[in-house]
Amino acid sequence: MLKEGYEIMSYILYVCIIVPFALMFLILYGGARRTAAFVMIGITVCLFVSEINSLLLDFFNDDIYFVTTRITPITEEIFKALPVIYFGIVFSDEIQKLLTVGMAVGIGFAVFENMIILTDNIENVNILWAFIRGFGSGLMHGMSTAIVGICMSSFHRRKKLFVPGLFSLLSVAIINHGIYNLLVQSKLEYLGYILPIIIYIPISIFSHYLKKKYQKQKALQK
Amino acid sequence: MISKMMFINLALFLCAVFGIIYLTASFSKKDMPIYCVSVLCAWISLALCRLYMFLVLSVENADLNKFNLSWFAMTGSFIFLFCANYGCLDKDTLKAAKGNAKQKMISLAAPAAVMGLYIFNMYLFYKYGTRLTVSYRVFTVILTLLIMQNSFFNLKYIIIGSDKESPLYRLRSFNFIMLVYSILTMAEVSAPISRSLTAVIVIYSLTGVTTLMIPVCLRRGMK
């Protein structure tokens, strides 16, 4: 994602993915439409951030290790969180919606990032690489933004907490991303691939709990 | 020293994980109050911070005084604690927590002590000839300011909570340990450069104990 010389390819890929998504978006409605929209936003954010990361790489004299372990977690998490924050402020602060939106942005971002890396390393990839990227990077991006969404719903309702809460949420997402990037570039890389799954389990249990609670509330209303 | 710091951070990570599990398990059957949510988030941030520090030391053998992401997590952790004290109290508690001018004046002793520790830290850095990066200076200033406000609230709630009828009475032990934790975090900044193993072990052991005790005291206070 950070190497130069294939920017045009990333734009070609972007058009290939975004056009069918946009057509699907037009005929969907309700929650499905929202999810599709935020997956598209995630993909767009990835394209945008890849340009910023390229500039930062130039600024730090092509030190890929330093940039990927210290700088890109900050830029990527901030830009990924922006659409979720916007949705939380303008549309709804319901925890279920924010969880879905956060996850959708993160997964959209991860899908496009994986594609860019795939086209860059087309000769060296195999099925194991695909699984590692899917479970590792894919989940990590999804989880980081989902965390922002989940906690934001708690903090948004209290005006005093909104700004400090938002900064601290971003810091959690940034450090989560930083740990993943640090691990996958070290001898402990397999630990890095497991880490997002470890975070995924409690969030999926929490999501299941939310679903049950929502169903109970609906039954009571009836 | 690096290998020792590595294991110390791993131990502190495990202490924070215990706190997270304890708080989550305690409130599994009922809704968690926003005050506890904020402290829980602070502990998640702290656990990630300690894990990152452990990894940076074990993978890179890097100097933690240079720019790294654990600074964000540490700052984030104290902002979550600030949120807990500033905007998470319910109406009755908030009314009681306002305090009078005298109580507020006495409470200023805690931030003054933190400021004193900051000056002492800087003195130690110059004494041992440690070169500080600009980013590290900025980080320590931000962290000091956050710890100052946190310690102010903790001491104020301890003073107000000394009245048995106050809603803050039950949270006295929590606030006391939180105050100790804040001061220990300040001491932690300069502990490694003092090159005194005893000082490092004492400070980090106490930090570990307070990290374990804070969720327990919070749960008891919330009963």
Are A158 and B88 inside 8 Å of each other by CB?
Answer: yes
Q: Is the alpha carbon torsion for A206, A211, A212, A216 positive or negative? A: positive
Chain B interface includes A203 (CB < 8 A): no
Report the candidate in A171, A169, A184 with the shortest Cα–Cα distance to residue A137: A184
* Candidate from A80-89, A159-168, B141-150 with smallest mean pLDDT: A159-168
Give the pLDDT band (50/70/90) at residue B161: confident
Q: What is the pLDDT of residues A162-210, one digit of tens each?
A: 778 888 888 989 999 999 999 888 888 888 888 888 888 888 888 888 7
Residue of A nearest to B21 (CA): A202
- Chain A residues whose CB is inside 8 A of the B41 CB are 151, 168-169, 172
Are A164 and B55 inside 8 Å of each other by CB?
Answer: no
**Between residues A175 and A211, the one the model is more confident about:** A175
- Chain B residues whose CB is inside 8 A of the A183 CB are 55, 59
Residue of A nearest to B31 (CA): A213
Query: Quick check: A113 pLDDT over 50?
Result: yes
CA B105 to chain centre: 22
Helix extents (H) in B56-171: 70-87, 91-97, 101-107, 109-127, 134-161
How far is the C-alpha of A77 from the C-alpha of A174, rounded, in Å? Answer: 6
**pLDDT value at position A2?**
47
Q: What is the mean pLDDT of chain B?
A: 84
pTM higher than 0.90? no
State the first-to-last Cα distance of chain A, in angstroms, to the nearest integer. 51
Q: What is the pLDDT of residues A7-26, one digit of tens each?
A: 688 899 999 999 999 999 99
Q: How many residues make up chain A in this entry? A: 222
Share of chain A above pLDDT 90, in %: 37
Q: What is the pLDDT of residues B30-66, one digit of tens each?
A: 778 888 888 988 999 999 999 998 888 888 777 777 7
Contact B193, B130 (CB under 8 A): yes
Contact B188, B194 (CB under 8 A): no
- Chain B residues whose CB is inside 8 A of the A69 CB are 69
Interface test mutation site (partner B, options A67, A156, A166, A172, max chain B beta carbons within 10 A)? A172
Are B69 and A73 inside 8 Å of each other by CB?
Answer: yes
How far is the C-alpha of B22 from the C-alpha of B32, rounded, in Å? Answer: 13
Interface test mutation site (partner B, options A143, A144, A171, A188, max chain B beta carbons within 10 A)? A171
Chain B interface includes A78 (CB < 8 A): no
Q: Quick one: residue A215, left, alpha or beta (phi over 0 = left, psi -120 to 50 = alpha)?
A: alpha
Query: Quick check: A4 pLDDT over 60?
Result: no
The ipTM estimated for the assembled molecules is 0.84
Q: Look at residue B4 and give its three-state secondary structure.
A: helix
Neighbours of A12 (CB within 10 A): 12
Chain B interface includes A222 (CB < 8 A): no
Considering only the beta carbons, identify the residue of A69, A161, A175 that sits closest to B87: A161
